[in-house]
Amino acid sequence: MRPPILRERDLAVPLGDGGDVLRADVYRDPAPGRRPTLLQLTAYDKANWASVNGVINPERAVDQGFAVVVVDARGRYRSGGAEPFRPFAGSGVEAAACVAWAAAQPWSNGSVGMYGASNNGVPQWQALRFRPAALRTIVPHFTASEFDRGWVWRGGAFQLGFNLWWSLANLAPDQLRRALARDRVPDSAAALAQALRDPDAALRRLPLADVPALDGIAPHYQEWLDHPAGDPYWQELNAGPAVAGTDLPVLHVAGWYNVHLDGNLANYAAIRAAGGPAAARQRLIIGPWTQWSPALFGDTCGPERRFPSTIDMEGLQLAWFDQHLAGGPGPDLPPVRLFVMGIDEWRDEQEWPLARAVTVPWFLRSDGAANSRYGDGRLTPEEPPGAEPPDTFRYDPRDPVPTRGGATYLPNPAGNSGPMDQRVVEDRNDVLVYTSEPLAEPVEVTGPVHAVLYLRTSAPATDLTAKLVDVHPDGRAELLCDGIRRITAAELSAVTGAPLRVEVDLIATSNVFRRGHRIRLEVASSSFPKYDRHSNRAHHPVSTEDEFHVAQQTIMHDEQYPSALMLPVVPA
C-alpha cells in the first residue's frame, strides 16, 4: 500500500517585496522524488477550499503523481498583510511568488500549473503579467481577466446582486474576523449579521454606497461604485494585454449560465486571434453550468433543470497537467468542446465563434400591444416589418422587473440561477414579449447573441434589457441568455428627434430550438437585483442615487427602424 499522503500546514511563502508572508498547505507523497506541482491561490480559506466544487481533489492529484499547494491570498485567513483585503489587487505578484516558491521546493520538478474557479482563477490571469519562469500552464474556470467589464460592470450597469452578495457572503466575514482579532469591534459587525439574515433588504437599500455591513472592512465595494468600466482605476487590476500575449497553453472552462461567461470567451478568443505561440494550444470547454452548483460539473443546472452533462473535469485537468508539466500524452481535446442544449449533447468544434454560423435577424413585430406574454408581439425571421405601430411600456425603478434565473450569483444562488421559467416575469406589462410561430423544423443557435432595438424614451437616460427564451410546447419559457445596456444622456441628446439605435449584448448560448418550440425575446428596462436600478435621471451617480423617476419607453419596429434579435444560426 502507498504511504498516507503527507499534509504540511501553514508553510511560509515569503513575498518578494520583503514584506508579508503567505501561508500554504502542501499535499504530497512522502516518498523521495520530484513531482510536477499544482498551485491554487485562494481568497476563500485554503483549509476548506482545497477540493471544493469538484475542481481538483488534492488526494486524487497526489495519487496521480502531483504535489499540490494551496495558498491563502494576502490579507486572507492564515496569510498576513494587506488589510483590509482588496480583491484583484496584487494577486499577480502573489501568484508569481507562489510559483517560484513551489518550483524551488525539493519535492518539485520545477514545473508548476495553476488551477481554480471564479475568484481563484483571478491570480492565474494576473500571473501572466509577471510570467514566472516555472509556470507552464493555467486552467482558469468561470472567471474573467478584465474585472471592470467582465466582473463588476456589464453593459454599463453595475452588477449589484453579484457584487454585493459576493462581498457580504464571501469576503466580509473573514475581514470582520481579522478586525475582531485586533481588538477592534467595527460597527459593521451587527450590520453584517443582519445583512446575511435579510439580504433582500440589503440589496434594496439606497443609496448603493450606504452599506453599513461593509463599513471599515471592505472598502473595495465603494471603490467599485465610484469607478465605472473603462476608468483608469481598473488598469492596475486588469490583466490587460498580457492575456493575448501569453505563450502558455490554457484550458478555459466556462458555463452557459456562469456570471463570467463573457470574460471566459473573450480570453479564449483574444489568445487565438493574437496568433502567437500559444494560439494553437488553447482549449475551451463550455457546459450548461451556473456559478453555483452542489456538483459543479454534474447534471444540475439551477433548481429547475437537469442536463446529461456530467463530465470528469478533475480527471481531464489532471491529464492536461500531466501533459504540460510532465510530458504525458494529455487529454484528447479539440479546440472547443461545447454542450448544445435542446438536444443535450456534447459536441467538438474547431473554433469559437463557429465559422459556419450565420447571423440571422429575427424582426420584432406587433400591432402596438406586445406587453406581457398575452400581448401581440411576434418574431419573424428575415422578414422586415412594414408600417407598424411601436410598443410602449412604463418603467418604474421602484417596481423593477425581478431577476429570475440566468447567469447569476444572488442570495440562495442554487435557487435563482440557470434556465428558469420566465412566465411569471412575462405576466408583467412592463415587459415586451415577442414570440415566433411554432417551429416547423429545429433551429440551432450557437454563438454570440445580441439585439438591435430602436428606442424613444421620456427619460434623459435609462436602461434596456433583453432576454432570449426557448418556449416549450407546454408553455414553459426557459431562459437561455440575457443582457443589459445603460444608455447615457449624451447618446440620447445626440439623436434629438429620432430614436436611438441600441445594441444589447446577450453574451452567448448554444441551443437547438426543437420542432414545435418557439423563439422568444423579452425587452424591458430592469432585471433586479442582478443589476442596479436606473433612476431615469440624466446624471446617474450609481453610488449616491436615491431618487427615482418613471420613464415611458417606446420600441420602434418598422421599415425605417427595424428592431431585431440577431441570432447565430447553424445550418442544418
Closest C-alpha to 491, from 528, 525, 463: 463
Q: With left for phi above 0 and alpha for psi between -120 and 50, is residue 239 left, alpha or beta?
A: alpha
The distance of Cα 467 from the centroid of its chain, to the nearest Å, equals 16
Q: Which domains does the chain have, with CATH numbers?
A: 6-149+235-349 (3.40.50.1820), 157-227 (no CATH), 358-570 (2.60.120.260)
Task: Yes or no: say if 87 and 43 are a contact pair by the CB < 8 Å rule.
Answer: yes
Phi, psi of 409 (to 5 degrees): -140, 90
Report the alpha-carbon distance of residue 33 to residue 372 in Å, rounded.
66
Residue 479 belongs to what H/E stretch? strand 477-487
Q: What residue type is 544 in one-letter code? A: T
Q: And the C-alpha cell for 404?
A: 429570475
Q: Are the C-beta atoms of 360 and 567 separated by less than 8 Å?
A: yes
pTM: 0.95
Contact 415, 426 (CB under 8 A): no
Q: What's the pLDDT at 155?
A: 97
Is residue 396 classed exposed, middle or buried when 0-12, 13-18 and 19+ CB atoms within 10 A define those classes? middle
Yes or no: say if 452 and 434 are a contact pair by the CB < 8 Å rule. no
Can you list the alpha helix ranges (DSSP code H) found in 42-117? 46-49, 58-63, 91-104
Question: Bridge partners of 137?
Answer: 113
User: Grid coordinates standing for 284?
Assistant: 475551451
- Position 208 scores a pLDDT of 96
State how far the Cα of 326 lies from the Cα of 518, in Å rounded to an integer.
50
Helix (H, G, I), strand (E, B) or coil at 338: strand
Cβ contacts of 447 within 8 Å, gap of 6 or more = 352, 353, 354, 357, 508, 510, 568, 570
> Nearest-5° angle of CA 92, CA 97, CA 101?
150
* Confidence at residue 107, expressed as pLDDT on a 0 to 100 scale: 97
What residues form DSSP beta bridges with 359? 568
Rg of the Cα atoms in the chain: 24
For residues 119, 122, 123, 124, the Cα torsion angle rounded to the nearest 10 degrees is 120
- Read off the C-alpha cell for 235: 488598469
- Given a cut of 50, the residues of the chain with pLDDT beneath it are 53, 294
- Which pLDDT score is estimated for 294? 46
Amino acid making up residue 139: V
Yes or no: say if 459 and 549 are a contact pair by the CB < 8 Å rule: yes
Count the neighbouring beta carbons within 10 Å of the beta carbon of residue 419. Answer: 27
